[in-house]
Amino acid sequence: MDATAHTSDTNPDGAVAPRLGTRFLVFPQPPYVPGYENPEVVWLAPSAGRIMAGPSDRRMYVADPLELKRPYAYPDLPPYAGGLHPPAEPDADGHFDHITPDSPAFLATHSFACARRVLDIFEGYVGRDIRWFFEPTLSRLEIIPHIVDWDNAQSGFGFLELGESEPERMASRFALNFDSVAHEMGHLILLSELGLLEGDGAGSEFFAYHEAIADFASLLGLLHFDTAVDRILRRTGGNLMINNELDRFAELSDERQIRSFNNSLRAGDVGSEVHDHSKPFAGGLFDCLIEVYQSLLFERGLSDLDPRRFSNLRQQLAPDMLEVKLRPSRTDYETKHFASKAALQEARDIVGESVVRSWRLLDPDDVTFETAAEAFLTAAERGRGRAYVEQFEDCMRWREILW
């Protein structure tokens, strides 16, 4: 088939072809994590033919330097001016899923797909294109899929760069880690939607809030993979509340996102280092997601556990008592799996939308976790989260973010 035919979106018989998106292979967790050894096929929003060799499209592109590149640092910024490896090419139908993990071009297609996937998810929540904060100076995001001898990932003015400390060791390649790419995309999207600081951020919690949202972007991203949602639900017999209340996700989970969100930290428990400082708020958002999920299960007759009666069980019962009292019956979970999965996806979107829509109520220079939590409640009240606002407020009070 002639590749040029796809740009016209017409079938050979002249009918308009449906826009189905473009296929890529993505590992929801790095492939050394048990259960995630095989990549999943994902469909990116731009239709086949709109993502070109690189990969590249109108929002982002991969540049794979031939020379040893140093990480960008101001005033050194994109576009990369040196020689590049040949771009990854689409197949005759415009897709990229023929590029498998053993191919030299895989780091390029994988990092592009992870970044584009997160942008697709957030544009879905915002309901329109997200304009980069670095436009119009730079019109597109540049993705550098590997920087040798650099054990880090970073994003900034027009770039997303992924290091590899030991190229022969898969675990050292950030481009294979959806979690890291999604975290960096979370920073870029928040800078684009919330805006930049005018001052130096003193007196606000702007930087810690950024870390909480970047991690939350990575959790939302994870919960868009069938592999991940299926594994999390089957492993827990669908009962996320008990695992969350007992802080037991951490030991049960192979997914880093779940482990880091399942914490019992309150605002008074953490120091001022930004990653540490972000944990109570991030944990509070995770609690909200679990509350919506368990409420939906209860309303739909899929669980006997009414979260409105059992909220904040941590305060009421010793963990061993709690476990005995609420031990889930797993025998009938299999028949409830698909309905439970639908509830988790709905909960994910209700909380995701409320967070994203809270940004327009916030001023970057005045962001604190308290103002962010209040804006989150307001955004929830105005949208699909309305029925859960009291539960959200309880979660944020328990975290000592609201009083």
Taking Cα atoms as reference points, which of 234, 235, 244 lies closest to residue 288?
Answer: 244
Q: Between 216 and 298, whose beta carbon lies closer to Zn ion?
A: 216
Question: CB neighbours of 130 closer than 8 A, spacing ≥ 6?
Answer: 119, 122, 123, 189, 192, 193
Q: Between 190 and 214, whose beta carbon lies closer to Zn ion?
A: 214
Least Cβ distance, residue 180 to Zn ion (angstroms): 9
Least Cβ distance, residue 210 to Zn ion (angstroms): 7
Answer yes or no: are the C-beta atoms of 96 and 90 closer than 8 Å: yes
Instruction: Identify any residues that bridge with 301 across adjacent strands, giving them in sequence order.
Output: none
Taking Cα atoms as reference points, which of 281, 254, 97, 276 lies closest to residue 179?
Answer: 254
Least Cβ distance, residue 154 to Zn ion (angstroms): 9
Residues in contact with Zn ion by CB under 5 A are 211, 214
Token look-up 């590997």 returns: 146
Least Cβ distance, residue 165 to Zn ion (angstroms): 18
Q: Between 260 and 391, whose beta carbon lies closer to Zn ion?
A: 260
Residue 10, Cβ neighbours under 10 Å: how many? 12
Q: b or e along 316-328 (b: 16 or more beta carbons within 10 Å of the residue's beta carbon)?
A: eeeeeebeeebeb
Q: Between 61 and 209, whose beta carbon lies closer to Zn ion?
A: 209
Least Cβ distance, residue 291 to Zn ion (angstroms): 26
Q: Which residue is nearest to Zn ion (CB)?
A: 214
Q: Between 214 and 343, whose beta carbon lies closer to Zn ion?
A: 214
Taking Cα atoms as reference points, which of 107, 102, 116, 98 lies closest to residue 50?
Answer: 116
Q: What is the DSSP letter of 361?
A: G
Least Cβ distance, residue 183 to Zn ion (angstroms): 6
Q: b or e along 133-162 (b: 16 or more beta carbons within 10 Å of the residue's beta carbon)?
A: bbeeeeebbbbbbbbeebeebbbbebbbbb
Least Cβ distance, residue 214 to Zn ion (angstroms): 4
Instruction: Identify any residues that bridge with 22 across adjacent strands, giving them in sequence order.
Output: 44
Q: Between 185 and 265, whose beta carbon lies closer to Zn ion?
A: 185
Least Cβ distance, residue 178 to Zn ion (angstroms): 15
Q: Between 144 and 182, whose beta carbon lies closer to Zn ion?
A: 182
Taking Cα atoms as reference points, which of 40, 39, 44 lies closest to residue 95?
Answer: 44
Biggest CA-to-CA distance, the chain: 68
Q: State phi, psi for 202 to the nearest 5 degrees.
A: -65, 140
What is the sign, positive or negative, of the torsion defined by CA atoms of 325, 327, 331, 337? positive
Q: Between 175 and 296, whose beta carbon lies closer to Zn ion?
A: 175
Least Cβ distance, residue 275 to Zn ion (angstroms): 7
Q: Between 218 and 354, whose beta carbon lies closer to Zn ion?
A: 218
